[in-house]
Structures are given as C-alpha cells and as structure tokens.
Structure 1
Amino acid sequence: MHIVVLDDYQNVAAGYADWQALGAETTFVSRPIRDTGDLVETVTGAEVVVAMRERTVFSAERLSQLPDLRLLVTTGRVNASIDLDAARAQGVTVCGTESTTSATPELTWGLILSVLRSIPAEDAAVHSGGWQSTVGGDLFGHKLGVIGLGRLGTQVARVGAAFGMDVVAWSQNLDEARAADVGAHAVSKEELFATSDVVTLHYKLSERSRRLVGVEELSLMKPSSIFINTSRAGLVDTEALTSTLREGRIRGAGLDVYDSEPLPADHPLRSTPRTVLTPHLGYVTDDTYRIFFTQAVEDIAAWSAGELVRQLT
C-alpha cells in the first residue's frame, strides 16, 4: 500500500502519529498542490491519500484522473473541496476525523487584540529600536458583534462577555432565547454592523451566505470598529473590504482566511493597510494536529482491515 499525505505545509505530519504502524510506504508532501497535473503526478500509484481540510481540491474532474485512489481521508468531518458524490460514483471511500472546537475561537481573540492594540506594528517598532507609536482601543464596556452563534461563535461570545463586553449576535434564524443562553442579545444584521466595536464572523458558507458581508454592511460600521474573519473568505466581498480599509473607513481588520490560498504574492490584501493577516492558522495547533493525524492513521488501518470508521461516503 502506498499512502500520500498532502498539504503538510510545515513538514510536521510525520511526527503527530505512528505512520510506521501501517507498514506502508508513506510520502509526505509539503508544497501546495495548485493544478490538476501536479495532483495527478503526485498521487498516481497511491491507493490512499490524506488531505488537510480544504487545501487541495478533489473535484469530479480531478478524481476521474486518479484511478488508483481507493481511500481519501480528510482531516475534519466536512470538506467542501471534495466532491463526495463523484468519489462515491468512482468507488473512492472518503473518511474524516474529529477536531478541536477551541483553536479557532482562540485565534479569533488573538486577532481581535492584535488589531485593536496594534500588537504586530508595536512589536516590529520595538525590535527596530522604536517605542510607542499607536493608541489602542478597548474591550471593556464596548460592543462585540458575533455573526453566527454556532459552536465557534458561542465560544467567542462567552469570552467577549468575560472581557466585560456587551455582546450582540445575528444569524438567519437566531432568536433571543438562544442568544441569551450565551449572554448575548439577538439583533438585526444592520444593527450589529452599525453599533458594534468588534464584528467577528463565524458563519457556514453556502450559496445563500456567500458575500454575506459586502459594501452595504461595511458602510454601516463605525470608523473606530474592527472586522475579524476566521471563518470562510467566501462570506466576504474581498474587494469591498480592501477598499474600506484603504480608505480608512474602519479601524482595521484581522483575517485568517482568503479567497485564494496560499495567498498569492501579488494579492491586494498583502499591501492593504490596517490589517493583521495570518495564514489560515485557525485549526493549526498541536492538539488539533494530533487528533487529525492520529485518527487519519486509524481510518487507514480500519479500511485496510475491511472496516470503516468516520466514513463520509
């Protein structure tokens, strides 16, 4: 059996699980796979492929060019980059793994504080011999607006309450009772954008929610407010956000997700002021990787034994 582990950007996957226990040839690939030709060349001959979340696309067209593939393991339980129907039709079994639910909310607060207190800029200034050059914003007594009050948004909301913030929330079907359960108030989307000092996005991407945040929503925000996205880039009109930041119409933005990843060197966001940008680190933690890769090995071992665990197709 030949296994290819894709998307190992940091060259660490080998150390998070006992791959040798599988008794198989295992290849770890650290470079991003962008085009179909590269994917086909990389995984041809492999019966098993492990993919990290949504870093590499497995469309129907791509799967049709991978006749050797029998098992595709994705980290996490949901991967919008895999065409499950096409995999099923081709006889490819897809399995997933569990994940942590704390890593992304924790990074969210790292971005909030980094933008609000200009931590990256002040750190760079101190390292280069400088001293205080910015005046930070505050959390206590200010308003946190949470878009999407699911598992992740709920954790973010509770931390906001612990900071002494007034927490408001909006989602398509959110009612006041559900919001009150986590110490928040349900408001309209318009009120959330117009009154919040911090707006943070934790919403599921679908055709209905695509570009949920656009020109209209951003124009409602206060000049002193900040916008955070650790969810999905497709929820936001990137061009509208970039224009808003360049024109100084909001205080800043903290972003962990992008419409093209890895972010191209010439992408406008790389030169957009008032931003703190992280390279999709929401789930990139020790605990999460240990779960991902340990369970990926378990999935492969079970499949090899004629059993299936955490099956998605």
Structure 2
Amino acid sequence: MAFLATVGLSALLYYFSYLIFPSILDCDILLSFKEIFGKPISSLKGKIIWITGASSGIGEQLAYVLAKAGCKLILSARRVAELEQVKKKCLEENKYLNDNDVELYPLDVLNLESHEKAFLHVINKFGKLDILVNNAGRSQRAQWENIQIAVDREIFELNVLSIVSLSRLAVRYFLQTGYGQIVINSSVAGFLPAIMSGSYNGTKHALHGYFKSLMLEHSKHIDVTIVCPGPIQTNFLAESFTERSCVKYGINTEIDKNKISANRCATLMGIAIANKLDEVWIAKPSVLRLVYIFYCFPNFGKWFLKILGPKYLMKLRDAKVPSQN
C-alpha cells in the first residue's frame, strides 16, 4: 500500500507541477529548462540558415537573433525594401559578419514553381544548407459559417502547401547530405483552436499532421522543430485573412501585457532550434495555463473553455473583442 501511495502521490505532484510552472513561465517547461541548462543559441555559429517571411514580425527578429549568434543567413520575403533593412540591422548586430554572409532572396512562397530555383540558389551561394525556417504565413479573423471556400483554399496554399513544397526539397537534400533541420512556425492553435479563425486553425493542425509524420519517418537524419507561439506582439492583424477572398482584416494589433514580444519569441525560438526540440510552446502565463490544462486534462479543458466563453477567449487573444469586418 505504501508503494501505491508513493506512486499516486508522485503522479499527483507531476500533474500539479504542470499547473504551477506555467503560471510563472512564458514557454513550456522543457524549453524553459533548456534556456538555462541547454545549448546556447551561440552553438549555432556558422550554420547556414534560410528564413522565409523574414521581412517583419517573428521572422525579422529571428534573423537578428541568429545573426548575433554568428549564423550565415538567407532571408526571403516579397518585400525587398524591408528585407534590405533587415539585412542592414543583421550586419550591425554582428560586426564579424560581412555582406556575403547575409543573402537576400526575394521570394513569393505561393509560387511553388519557383521553389526549386530558390533552393538551388541557396546551395550555390553557400555550398550547403543546414536549417530551413518556414516562417511565412498569415492569421485570420472570421466567423466560421461565413468563410468563403476560396478563403480556405488561399490560406491553405500559403500556410500549408507552400511550406510542404519547400520543405520537401529540403528533406530530399538533407537525406542526400546526411543531416538537416526543418523549423516550422506553427501556433498553439495547432492543437488548441482559436476563436474566429476556423480556416487558420485548420492550417496549423495540418502542419502538425504533416511534420509529425516526417519526424517519425526520418528521425535519424532530420530534426523537425515545431514552434507554437500564442499571442505575439506583432502587427499581424492588419494582414490577416477574413471571411472573404482577397480582403484583409486591416485592423492594427492592440498592445497588451498578455502578448509576448516578437524579440522574446524569436530568442526562445533560437533556443529551441539550438537544442533540436521537436515541439515548443511560447506564450504568457494567461495563455500557457490554458494550453497545459487542455493538454494534460483534455476532458476538463473542453468544459473549462466552454465556461470561459468565446468573448473571453477572443479578448485574451487580441486584447479586445473587435467588430466583424
């Protein structure tokens, strides 16, 4: 009986810790541990890293974090002027990097036929690729039943198919060279659905399905890191999909204490990459607690989310309950 009591108490303490630690952290417990005791971002020095969606937001900040660590970078996005500014700041972050160490390659990831040419350019430029960071993507604000099917198609092409297309090129290359790492910027919406983002939730769930399959198939040669941020302080809302095709949300993102800064998110992302973690969660305690409750206690979590209600969840995500476009 004493043994069973010890086992029961240990199990209780184990799950209780998953309620306590998220109240004082801004990322999952393993990532927090690796930030203190794991490999530093500087261990990535000299790695050749390609970042898509690098002209703003998390991708931009990740470029600065990796440049400071001494990585050689390929920065891709559609907006050339913004990319040039990012490159300039990358070189300012690390005086030991020169102009040839940060390559700009303008790319519309929706043009799948251009991916192979882009990939060959990267290999020809640096001789190899170590890590591909798939960061390009857009969020959504729309009521589920009003979403045009064309919007579902558009957001899946950007948030899923473009990533899968580019990653398959990288996977084939990494299998030839013997090793590589693919990083996916997903979202906690990949397993904890967000309000007013039905199509977006679908894309993030799809990414987890695609890349967790890859983890199982090629774990010996390819590391996959799925990064799941919660609310981040970037101006992503203005570019978000809505319920109508080709219509952007057009509302600036509110500044709120429940949102992590893009720089902090990028720093934690760098730690996850350096330590080859397979899935990480990045969010302030108000959101991280919900994630752990839903993950560790799914039945209670479903009930609890219903009790909180959509208005609270929307406010937690966007700092207000905006009017529908």
Shared fold (TM-score greater than 0.5)?
no
Structure that is richer in helix per residue: 2
Question: Quick check: which has more Rg, 1 or 2?
Answer: 1
The TM-score normalised by the length of structure 1 is: 0.38
Bigger relative contact order, structure 1 or 2, given CA contacts below 8 A and separation 6+?
2
